């Protein structure tokens, strides 16, 4: 398992690389790690902006294809969603938070905070709530299942080989890395 | 265009009871035709329906089974949906929100697979305790049929007699497979319950344990027995349907039976059904079996009332639709400081049964206690998000709420009470047929049990588990075990069917399944329904062989 310190360093590195990428086109070439893992945050690609913001809000490995679906669902149900993302992105660039715990308290605008919480909720629950219906984005990719996946089955997915489980109870402190 | 098909045996319903009888009749060389009100849907479609549900609906077991307009069943996602089919009245109407689906395969799609036999005492409540009724036969008569049902459905269970149920009885055959292992939650419950005199037994369950059985794979702990086992490790009747067809059986889906026709000799001549275009058809045969569950079977009999059968078919006793039973359930949602970790293995794999027996049953109901073993990560995740958490605090709270919470349940044995009655509602369904109206009152026998016995015991069990918070449901809920509406007995004056589930009024009509059960006991009803089906099938084959 990666240590929290290592994860924090990666987050900061990604954040800095992302900010750099947004600042100048030249920096795209220097940020190949981010580009390879999540696509270059181009000024014209709204999903890249969404992923950039998501990586600050959700401190885990995020699948861009899932992000693409979440972004698409929000674009359907939220008015002016890309501008809301732009506002959050600008704030991130301005405040350079080291993690979500430092970033959320800087959101004094309730609308911005609501947008941030909706994005977090979508990654964890796999659903984007619309006015008339819910948009299910994913099932096994929902992060709420990964928090307990060291012990609990993701419902409908196999736990193990036949009768391969046991009654060992693990500590709450052994948080999986994902 | 209307059709009129014929067969030796006509079966209405494609659940476990209908399928067991169909196979036995086919194996004996008789032709079989089955009518199913709902559609036939593949397993992968249901699994996809489930996975595409928003998480707040994933605990609504009927949600992956959208009903067809012509074959409605109870839906629970919203209050208005809940009121759209069953017309429920009475002080405990909520305790009769029965969760069956009208699909080929019936309610076995989303049953838990648990197979508790009834005990010898469960069949003699009147003689032993002066309450309820006695069955038409003793446990010794039923035991061989239980064994056959366990082998027909593939029931795994413990080899140690001390862990088998009922206690102090002889089994004619061992379970075909050994037990399924416990996950941490059920092991902890077992250990804790033992400290307060409650024995949590490994449940006999129609789930393949460690090996393939009957062409189905072994359980891999997908923890999704309801709403659907994704790999068919659990018995469901849908897996029997292709085998029935391979043996020559014919299955007509989307065929809503609405009238049973009798002749002047009081024999059944035909079943009439509507197709989705509202065109009427009929099927004729020698033997007729209504096995479309404990609500739809009495409804169909009552719908068939005419001059010859003024109170409905098979209803000279006026008992059709009366004595509706289910185990009234209370649940306790508990929170603990230490992790329990449900969600490993099947969604149910054990129960406390010794609380169901004893002399106290003169005064109040016995009950079964158990813990739901479903993964609580969906509930934990949604609850933690509701708190507005993020980052590490969110992860920690999801993990805590998933691991350190549990749902305990207690299911009370019901008595057959004639006022708990299914009648025909003046509200109509899509086809213009009367919807079922059901009055339900759990009765003082159950209420006294909850007050004096089960709720105190439920709290004691929760505290022994280390509960810091206990929330008990404010009203009785349903267990989805529909029983009693075509009650069995030796006397045609006060019962609908005889010991073989044959209608007293019509000797070529069989009404096997939960409706025939004379009392309900505390355990899940399916294995008893299956045993009665096999007993009825013996009688059907015998009757056909002797002309």
- For A167, the closest of B183, B393, B399 (CB atoms) is B183
Contact of B97 with B111, CB cutoff 8 Å = no
Question: If you average pLDDT over residues A70-92, what whole number do you get?
Answer: 96
What confidence category does residue A34 fall into, taking pLDDT thresholds of 50, 70 and 90? very low
Inform me whether the C-beta atom of residue B391 falls under 8 Å from chain A C-beta atoms: yes
Q: Strand, helix or coil at A87?
A: helix
Beta bridge partners of B370: B409
> CA nearest B142: which of B166, B111, B120?
B120
Write out pLDDT tens, residues A140-168: 999 999 999 999 999 999 989 999 999 99
C-alpha B381/C-alpha B47 separation (Å) is 21
* pLDDT surpassing 80 at residue B478: yes
Where in the sequence is the domain holding B410, given as residue range(s)? 4-545
Question: If you average pLDDT over residues B386-397, what whole number do you get?
Answer: 98
- For B210, the closest of A101, A155, A162 (CB atoms) is A162
For residue B342, the chain A residue with the least C-alpha distance is A152
Question: If you average pLDDT over residues B131-135, what whole number do you get?
Answer: 98
Question: If you average pLDDT over residues B9-20, what whole number do you get?
Answer: 98
Size of interface A-B (CB pairs under 8 A): 169
Beta bridge partners of B332: B408, B472
C-alpha A7/C-alpha A3 separation (Å) is 6
Lowest mean pLDDT among A4-18, B60-74, B312-326, B470-484: A4-18
* pLDDT surpassing 60 at residue B11: yes
Where in the sequence is the domain holding A119, given as residue range(s)? 4-139
CA dihedral B59, B63, B65, B67 (to 10 degrees): 140
Lowest mean pLDDT among A42-51, B246-255, B334-343, B453-462: A42-51
B166 upstream amide cis, omega within 30 of 0: yes
CATH number of the domain within which B535 lies? 3.50.50.60
Burial annotation B446-467 (CB, 10 A radius, 16+ → b, else e): bbebbeebbeebbbebbebbeb
pLDDT at A44 (0 to 100): 76
Residue A91 lies in a domain: yes
Contact of B235 with B217, CB cutoff 8 Å = no
Report the run of H or E that residue B88 belongs to, with start and end: strand B87-89
Residue A120 lies in a domain: yes
B390·A175 Cβ contact <8 A: no
Residue A146 lies in a domain: no
Q: Strand, helix or coil at B196?
A: coil
Beta-carbon contacts of B454 under 8 Å, excluding residues fewer than 6 positions away, are B330, B355, B365, B367, B369, B410, B412
pLDDT at B161 (0 to 100): 95
For helices B391-403 and A110-125, angle between their N-to-C axes, nearest 10 degrees: 40
Question: If you average pLDDT over residues B75-91, what whole number do you get?
Answer: 87
**Strands of B434-439's sheet in order across:** B87-89, B434-439, B422-428
A167·B182 Cβ contact <8 A: yes
Contact of B177 with B228, CB cutoff 8 Å = no
Contact of B436 with B320, CB cutoff 8 Å = no
Phi, psi of B289, deg, nearest 5: -125, 120
Write out pLDDT tens, residues B60-81: 989 999 999 999 999 887 777 7
Question: Residues of B with catalytic annotation?
Answer: 481
A167·B184 Cβ contact <8 A: yes
- For A125, the closest of B345, B382, B395 (CB atoms) is B382
For residue A120, the chain B residue with the least C-alpha distance is B390
Question: If you average pLDDT over residues A40-67, what whole number do you get?
Answer: 90
Write out pLDDT tens, residues B140-196: 999 999 999 999 999 999 999 999 999 999 999 999 999 999 999 999 999 999 999
- For A139, the closest of B51, B217, B344 (CB atoms) is B51
B181·A165 Cβ contact <8 A: yes
Chain A residues with CB inside 8 Å of B183's CB? 165-167
Quickly tell me which residue has 């996950």 as its tokens.
Answer: B183
Contact of A128 with A77, CB cutoff 8 Å = yes
Beta bridge partners of B261: B270
Separation in Å, CA B90 to CA A38, B87, B417, B439, B482 = 59, 10, 13, 5, 17
Shortest alpha-carbon distance between residue B46 and chain A (Å): 11
Q: Which 293-352 residues of chain B touch chain A by CB within 8 A?
A: 339-345
C-alpha B258/C-alpha A114 separation (Å) is 54
A167·B380 Cβ contact <8 A: no
B210·A170 Cβ contact <8 A: no
Contact of B343 with B109, CB cutoff 8 Å = no
pLDDT at A33 (0 to 100): 34
Residue A167 lies in a domain: no
Write out pLDDT tens, residues B528-538: 999 999 999 99
Please tell me the total count of domains within chain B: 1
* pLDDT surpassing 80 at residue A32: no
- For B395, the closest of A126, A147, A168 (CB atoms) is A147
C-alpha A60/C-alpha A54 separation (Å) is 10
Please tell me the total count of domains within chain A: 1
* pLDDT surpassing 90 at residue A5: no
* pLDDT surpassing 60 at residue A171: yes
Helix and strand numbers (H, E) in chain B are 13, 16
pLDDT at A35 (0 to 100): 32
pLDDT at A25 (0 to 100): 32
C-alpha B178/C-alpha B156 separation (Å) is 5
Sort B214 into a burial class: Cβ within 10 Å, 0-12 / 13-18 / 19+. Answer: middle
Q: Strand, helix or coil at B339?
A: coil
Q: Strand, helix or coil at B330?
A: strand
Residue A174 lies in a domain: no
Structure tokens at B206: 């129609």
Chain A residues with CB inside 8 Å of B392's CB? 59, 101
C-alpha A116/C-alpha A102 separation (Å) is 13
What confidence category does residue A43 fall into, taking pLDDT thresholds of 50, 70 and 90? low
> CA nearest A137: which of A73, A51, A54, A63?
A73
Separation in Å, CA B508 to CA A4, A33, A55, A132, B524 = 73, 77, 70, 52, 29
pLDDT at A29 (0 to 100): 30
Beta bridge partners of B268: B262
Question: If you average pLDDT over residues B211-225, what whole number do you get?
Answer: 96
Q: Which of A44-48, A129-133, B108-112 has the highest mean pLDDT?
A: B108-112
A147·B186 Cβ contact <8 A: no
C-alpha B458/C-alpha B412 separation (Å) is 12
C-alpha B442/C-alpha B326 separation (Å) is 9
pLDDT at A30 (0 to 100): 34
C-alpha A97/C-alpha B362 separation (Å) is 69
Inform me whether the C-beta atom of residue B222 falls under 8 Å from chain A C-beta atoms: yes
C-alpha B139/C-alpha B147 separation (Å) is 12
* pLDDT surpassing 80 at residue A20: no
Count CB-CB contacts under 10 A for residue B492: 15
For residue A122, the chain B residue with the least C-alpha distance is B385
A162·B52 Cβ contact <8 A: no
**Strands of B367-371's sheet in order across:** B200-202, B350-352, B367-371, B405-412, B329-336, B467-472
Residue A54 lies in a domain: yes
Question: If you average pLDDT over residues B316-331, what whole number do you get?
Answer: 98
pLDDT at A41 (0 to 100): 58
Contact of A170 with A150, CB cutoff 8 Å = yes
For helices B139-153 and B526-545, angle between their N-to-C axes, nearest 10 degrees: 100
3-class SS shares of chain A: helix, strand, coil, % to 5: 55, 5, 40
Chain B residues with CB inside 8 Å of A163's CB? 180-181, 209-210, 218-219
């Amino acid at each position: 398992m990666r240590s929290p310190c290592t994860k924090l360093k990666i987050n900061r590195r990604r954040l800095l690389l992302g900010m750099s990428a947004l600042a100048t086109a030249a920096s795209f070439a220097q940020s190949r790690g981010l580009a390879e893992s999540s696509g270059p945050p181009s000024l014209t690609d709204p999903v890249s902006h969404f992923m950039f913001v998501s990586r600050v809000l959700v401190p885990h490995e995020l699948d861009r294809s899932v992000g693409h679906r979440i972004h698409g669902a929000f674009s359907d149900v939220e008015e002016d969603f890309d501008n809301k993302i732009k506002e959050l992105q600008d704030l991130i660039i301005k405040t350079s938070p080291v993690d979500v715990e430092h970033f959320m308290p800087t959101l004094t605008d309730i609308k911005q905070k609501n947008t941030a919480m909706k994005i977090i909720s979508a990654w964890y629950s796999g659903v984007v709530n619309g006015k008339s219906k819910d948009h299910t984005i994913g099932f096994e990719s929902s992060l709420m299942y990964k928090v307990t996946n060291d012990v609990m089955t993701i419902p409908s997915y196999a736990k193990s080989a036949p009768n391969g489980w046991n009654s060992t109870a693990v500590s709450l402190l052994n948080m999986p890395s994902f | 265009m209307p059709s009129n098909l014929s067969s030796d045996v006509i079966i209405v319903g494609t659940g476990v009871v209908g399928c067991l009888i169909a196979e036995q009749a086919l194996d004996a060389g008789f032709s079989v035709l089955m009518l199913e009100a709902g559609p036939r849907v593949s397993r992968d479609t249901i699994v996809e329906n489930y996975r595409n549900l928003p998480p707040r609906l994933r605990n609504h077991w009927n949600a992956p089974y959208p009903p067809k307009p012509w074959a409605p069943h109870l839906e629970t996602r919203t209050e208005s949906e809940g009121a759209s089919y069953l017309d429920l009245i009475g002080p405990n109407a909520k305790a009769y929100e029965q969760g069956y689906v009208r699909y080929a395969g019936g309610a076995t799609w989303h049953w838990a697979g648990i197979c508790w036999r009834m005990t010898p005492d469960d069949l003699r409540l009147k003689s032993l305790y002066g309450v309820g009724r006695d069955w038409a036969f003793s446990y010794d008569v039923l035991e061989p049929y239980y064994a056959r049902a366990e082998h027909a459905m593939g029931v795994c269970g413990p080899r140690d007699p001390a862990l088998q149920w009922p206690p102090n009885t002889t089994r004619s055959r061992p379970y075909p497979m050994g037990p399924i292992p416990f996950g941490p939650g059920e092991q902890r419950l077992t250990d804790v319950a033992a400290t307060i005199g409650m024995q949590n037994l490994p449940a006999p369950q129609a789930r393949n344990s460690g090996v393939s059985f009957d062409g189905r794979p072994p359980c891999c702990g997908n923890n999704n027995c309801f709403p659907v086992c994704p790999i068919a490790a659990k018995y469901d009747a849908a897996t029997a349907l292709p085998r029935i067809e391979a043996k020559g059986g014919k299955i007509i889906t989307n065929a809503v039976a609405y009238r049973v026709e009798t002749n002047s000799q009081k024999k059944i001549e035909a079943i009439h059904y509507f197709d989705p275009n509202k065109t009427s058809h009929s099927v004729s045969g020698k033997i007729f079996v209504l096995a479309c569950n404990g609500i739809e079977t009495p409804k169909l009999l009552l719908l068939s009332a005419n001059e010859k059968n003024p109170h409905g078919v098979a209803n000279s006793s006026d008992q059709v639709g009366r004595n509706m039973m289910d185990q009234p359930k209370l649940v306790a949602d508990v929170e603990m400081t230490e992790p329990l970790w449900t969600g490993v293995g099947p969604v149910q794999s054990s129960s406390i049964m010794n609380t169901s027996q004893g002399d106290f049953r003169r005064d109040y109901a016995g009950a079964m206690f158990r813990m739901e073993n479903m993964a609580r990560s969906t509930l934990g995740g949604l609850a933690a998000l509701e708190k507005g958490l993020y980052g590490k605090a969110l992860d920690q709270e999801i993990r805590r709420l998933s691991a350190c919470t549990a749902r305990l349940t207690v299911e009370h044995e019901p008595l057959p009470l004639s006022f708990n009655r299914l009648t025909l509602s003046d509200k109509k369904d899509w086809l213009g047929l009367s919807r079922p109206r059901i009055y339900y009152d759990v009765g003082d026998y159950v209420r006294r049990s909850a007050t004096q016995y089960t709720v105190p015991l439920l709290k004691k069990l929760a505290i022994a588990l280390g509960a810091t918070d206990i929330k008990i449901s404010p009203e009785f809920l349903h267990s989805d075990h529909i029983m009693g509406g075509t009650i069995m007995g030796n006397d045609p004056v006060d019962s609908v069917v005889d010991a073989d589930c044959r209608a007293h009024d019509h000797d070529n009509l069989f009404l096997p399944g939960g409706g025939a059960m004379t009392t309900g006991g505390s355990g899940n009803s399916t294995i008893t329904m299956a045993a009665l089906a096999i007993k009825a099938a013996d009688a059907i084959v015998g009757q056909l062989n002797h002309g």
